[in-house]
Amino acid sequence: RKEVEQDPGPFNVPEGATVAFNCTYSNSASQSFFWYRQDCRKEPKLLMSVYSSGNEDGRFTAQLNRASQYISLLIRDSKLSDSATYLCVVNMRNAGGTSYGKLTFGQGTILTVHP
Amino acid sequence: NAGVTQTPKFRVLKTGQSMTLLCAQDMNHEYMYWYRQDPGMGLRLIHYSVGEGTTAKGEVPDGYNVSRLKKQNFLLGLESAAPSQTSVYFCASSYQLGGAIYEQYFGPGTRLTVT
């Protein structure tokens, strides 16, 4: 089983649609959770961190369910510029209890927003 | 402020050749990482460094070596390139943002083809 699993999609949605991405992680000791965005042939960039209480940034809402080891990202009122690959990312502690900021990436979910 | 830079951007090698990829960051970050990204595999950690003069193995270290002689630079070496090392290589750096949350900043990537 992969440590971080995402539905690879692709998701094709019209402008204005609401779309949700899900992600599961296998290590219950995981500490920190993120969504990164990667445009075609570009580097990943942090979209938002994910907190236990859930958090919102404009049209984007992220939620974490530690009991189910599940993370989600909701995008409302999709824009053409939202077309990208969305990476679910987890910071896991190693056996010694440290992580040194090492991240484990899901394979990404491709989103295409069309007119 | 350049952030994270990588050289070269593109390279074609023949099997058995060697090369060094250079990563530089100007944000005074302690932690630096090298990833490779392959279709359907997501980003995988090759090696990382938690400070000047220290390096450690990541998920897929075989065939690669690294050095961190200066805090701002992290070098990735391929001693004898193989076609399986054809990939996009990303460097990243990070800092501690309270507790265990680490945001990573990525360079633009190096596209390497080994024939």
Nearest CA in chain A to B42: A107
Taking the Cβ of residue A44 and every Cβ of chain B, the question of whether any pair is shorter than 8 Å is answered with: yes
Contacts of B101 in chain A (CB under 8 A): 31-32, 49, 91
Tell me: the pLDDT tens digits for A50-92?
A: 988 889 999 999 999 999 999 999 999 999 999 999 999 998 7
Nearest to B100 among A4, A31, A107 (CB): A31
Nearest to A91 among B50, B100, B108 (CB): B100
Does residue A95 have a pLDDT over 70? no
pLDDT of residue B41: 79
Give 10-residue mean pLDDT values along chain B (115 residues).
Answer: 91 97 95 92 91 93 96 96 97 78 87 97
* The two three-digit tokens of residue B47, written as one number: 């090696």
* The two three-digit tokens of residue B46, written as one number: 């090759």
Q: Give the DSSP per-residue string, chain B.
A: ---EEEE-SEEEE-TT--EEEEEEESS--SEEEEEEEETTTEEEEEEEEEETTEEEE-SS-TT-EEE-SSTTEEEEEESS--GGG-EEEEEEEEEE-STT-EEEEE---EEEEE-
